[in-house]
Chain A
């Protein structure tokens, strides 16, 4: 089954991105295809490669980047939400790309399910 994921929160204020990450790993393990992960609202902060969590904390920016590249997942950061938060191409972690909100709607149309993680 093709599953789309929407993440509306960043790595440090809400559990949303952690929950989405674990859901995504479990879905891949069960043989599902992750059609796209779309990062919206403060979720765009999940793509900020300048983020430096403390050493005993998990690094969701790296985790998403690695998971995306290992499994060829389309990690899309909303351009409107990103620009207003200063997230630009030059600070976007490898494996993510910036694109429009249309990509979210398209994921809703093309994927069999869309799961929303947010606040």
Chain B
């Protein structure tokens, strides 16, 4: 089976990109939260439980520089979300067969 990396750059408070991705993403695929998408990685938000629930069947990553830029470095993130840098972003793109941006 192909492996898919989903990229989400929208805040879950503003757009439905995360919802649509979670609805259509297949078990075993990965999600990388970038830009305003990183707000979905923060624990204790009203969206956190939905994201946390999917860490069981999806691998979820968040882009560290975008987390830091938004003042979230000291905020607790959802358990099992992995922080990566831009080199990690490149590795994720290379390791997955394809990627899809949920703009």
With A15-B35, A19-B34, A19-B35 as contacts: A26 and B101 at CB distance below 8 Å: no
Interface of A is mostly: mixed
Interface contact B101-A30, CB-CB below 8 Å:
no
With A15-B35, A115-B101, A116-B103 as contacts: A26 and B94 at CB distance below 8 Å: no
Size category, A interface? 20 to 34
A85 within 8 A of B: no
A84 within 8 A of B: no
B46 within 8 A of A: no
Q: Quick one: which of B65, B87, B93 contacts A113, CB cutoff 8 A?
A: B93
With A15-B35, A116-B101 as contacts: A23 and B86 at CB distance below 8 Å: yes
* Chain A residues with CB under 8 A of B7: 115-116
Interface of B is mostly: helix
Q: Quick one: which of A1, A8, A19 contacts B94, CB cutoff 8 A?
A: A1
Q: Quick one: which of B9, B86, B94 contacts A22, CB cutoff 8 A?
A: B86
Interface contact B91-A113, CB-CB below 8 Å:
no
B68 within 8 A of A: no
B34, B89, B93, B94, most chain A CB atoms within 10 A: B93
CA distance A11 to B15 in the complex (A): 22
Residues of B within 8 A of A (CB): 7, 9, 34-36, 65, 85-87, 89-91, 93-94, 98-99, 101, 103
